[in-house]
Amino acid sequence: MSTSVLPDVLQIGRLSVSPPVVLAPMAGVTTAPYRTLCRRFGNRQPFDDATLPPGDASTASGGLYVNQMITARALMEGHKKMLHTARFADGEAPRSIQLYGTDPYWIGEAVRKLVGEGEVDHIDLNLGCPVPKVTRHGGGSALPWHHHLLRNIVRAMVNNAEGVPITLKFRIGIDDDHITHLDTGRIAEDEGASAVALHARTAEQAYSGTARWEAIGELKEHVTSIPVLGNGDIWEASDAQRMMAETGCDGVVVGRGCLGRPWLFQELSEAFTGTEITPAPSLAEVGQIMTTHLDLLIDWLGEDRGTRDFRKHPGWYLKGFPVGSQVRQQLNQMKSRDEMLAVLGSLADEPFPPEAARLTRGHSHGPRRVALPHRWIETRDDPTPPGAAAAAYTSGG
Ligand SMILES: Cc1cc2nc3c(=O)[nH]c(=O)nc-3n(C[C@H](O)[C@H](O)[C@H](O)COP(=O)(O)O)c2cc1C
């Protein structure tokens, strides 16, 4: 594959995404405040500038920033937490969300509701979650094995979407003996989905080892009528370009690489336009970005909940910096904005340690045996949705 010309626009149905970069849905992370921060970076706007970044229902400027996963059935039953998760920031455009479910009826109805109420401009289907409490009930990364059921789900989504692009995000398969990515890609194409994204690991691998980008190349050769996005182990902008050059994929989905490094979207934007990459921020500048991130969360959730929600982020922001465990612990337990500012103010400035970009953040567990429903492997052709328990799952992954 030639490395010379990489596309700088990705067309997902009626949605143009430029650069061809997507913030991966990440439960508990890709909240409206975090999406806003990443989107500002992707548009090369000062991170503390509250002016709305450009973009509308059909133009994802600076990349596409996907909301967290919501459970179709919980949404339809009006669960408060789910309705809150499904919210977007004022002026956020386009509005992109991921759905989880195992029953064509509930997923179809959730799409109808979101689209009918004018709530979304893009809907992704979660087929990659490897968490045992999900796969044990046939959901997430277990679902593609039951290909007729999957087809019925995608069909219900597309039929109710009124032209809003539907995409599928999945893994290579359950394990090396039960590979499904090519069949899933074909189902997506047949049923009118607008793009597919492959996290190039099996469910058994979970987050361990290195993503198998060659499977992305294989999928790209197999799926010819809609874009194929690659996902897994993009830590720096050069990884995104290498993935596209090596696999021929049409765009990239970025997960853990941006945890504590929302400026990765600026680097990606610069790389795709051939602009010189802005140097990574120093520790003092990272402190300012953390403060803006916390302020956005406080505006969204109030000081108490916003501060609590932020506690998962400092460890990622400070990864690789020479900051002692006592400081890290204080930030992990902070109760207010003032407390964070006092702790950050006590730190001497440091340049960004270049090796920090590639230090794993977020999940790294696996491999582990995939929990499946009784006789799930043997009943591959059964189109019946698994039991209601799967629909109760709410925490992503
Ligand atoms: C904290 C966290 C939460 C996640 N939640 C979801 C989710 O809700 N839906 C989903 O499809 N993938 C989820 N993922 C998986 C990512 O979207 C992505 O596929 C995976 O991390 C591999 O990409 P990466 O190597 O760029 O991180 C999650 C990952 C992490 C680290």
CATH number of the domain residue 263 falls in = 3.20.20.70
**Is the CB of residue 167 below 6 angstroms from any atom belonging to ligand 1?**
no
- Residue 312, pLDDT score: 96
38 belongs to the catalytic site: no
Measured in whole angstroms, the distance separating CA 352 from the mean position of its chain's CA atoms is 25
Query: Can you tell me whether residue 199 is helix, strand or coil?
Result: strand
- Measured CA to CA, the distance from residue 393 to residue 71 in angstroms comes to 7
Question: CATH number for the domain including 299?
Answer: 1.10.1200
Residue 256 Cα: closest atom of ligand 1: 27
Q: What is the domain count for the chain?
A: 2
Which residue's C-alpha comes closest to atom 30 of ligand 1? 26
Task: Mark whether 21 and 143 lie in a shared domain.
Answer: yes
Residues 43 and 175 occupy one common structural domain: yes
Range of the domain at 157: 10-278+366-392
- Measure the CA angle with vertex 149, ends 143 and 150; round to 5°: 60
> Do both 161 and 256 map to the same domain?
yes
217 and 85 in one domain? yes
Do residues 183 and 225 both lie within one domain? yes
Nearest CA to ligand 1 atom 19: 199
Is residue 39 domain-shared with residue 54, that is, in the same domain? Answer: yes
Residue 387 pLDDT: 77
In this structure, the residue with its CA closest to atom 18 of ligand 1 is 255
**312 touches ligand 1 (CB under 6 Å):** no
Ligand 1 centroid from CA 377, angstroms: 25
Q: What is the pLDDT of residue 396?
A: 54
Nearest to 10 by CA among 195, 257, 188: 195
Query: Are 22 and 88 part of one and the same domain?
Result: yes
Q: What does the pLDDT read at residue 392?
A: 47
One domain for residues 250 and 319: no
Query: Rounded to an integer, what distance in angstroms lies between the CA atom of residue 36 and that of residue 48?
Result: 10
Q: Which residues contact 264 (CB under 8 A, 6 or more apart)?
A: 41, 236, 237, 254, 257, 258
| pLDDT on residue 390 | 44
Are 157 and 71 in a shared domain?
yes
Q: Would residue 257 count as lying in a domain?
A: yes
243 lines ligand 1 (CB under 6 A): no
What is the structure's pLDDT at 380?
97
pTM of the entire predicted model:
0.96
| Cβ of residue 248 lying under 6 Å from some atom of ligand 1 | no
| Residue 358 lies inside a defined structural domain of this protein | no
Q: Decide if 361 is inside a domain.
A: no
Distance from Cα 396 to the centre of ligand 1, integer Å: 8
Q: Is residue 90 part of a domain?
A: yes
CA of 16 to the centre of ligand 1 (A): 23
Q: Is residue 229 part of a domain?
A: yes
Please spell the DSSP secondary structure of 94-149, one letter per residue. S-EEEEE-S-HHHHHHHHHHHHHTT--SEEEEEE----HHHHTTT-GGGGGGSHHH
**Token pair listed for 91:** 């002026």
Q: Show the low-confidence residues of the chain (pLDDT under 70).
A: 1-4, 388-397
Ligand 1 neighbour 25 (Cβ under 6 A) = yes
Q: 130 CB under 6 A from ligand 1?
A: no
Ligand 1 pocket member 260 (CB < 6 A): no
- For 320-350, write each residue's pLDDT tens digit: 999 999 999 999 999 999 999 999 999 999 9
Asked if residue 359 belongs to a domain, the reply is no
Judge if 204 and 287 occupy the same domain. no
Please report whether residue 14 resides in a domain. yes
CA of 138 to the centre of ligand 1 (A): 19
Task: Name the phi and psi angles at 285, rounded to 5.
Answer: -70, -40
Any domain includes 2:
no
Instruction: Answer yes or no: do 386 and 307 share one domain.
Output: no
- Sign of the CA dihedral with 250 first, then 67, 329, and 284 last: positive
Question: Which residue CA neighbors atom 17 of ligand 1 most closely?
Answer: 24
CA of 253 to the centre of ligand 1 (A): 10
Structure-block tokens of residue 359: 């230090």
- Show the DSSP H helices in 7-121 as ranges: 32-42, 72-76, 80-85, 104-116
Same domain, 24 and 118: yes
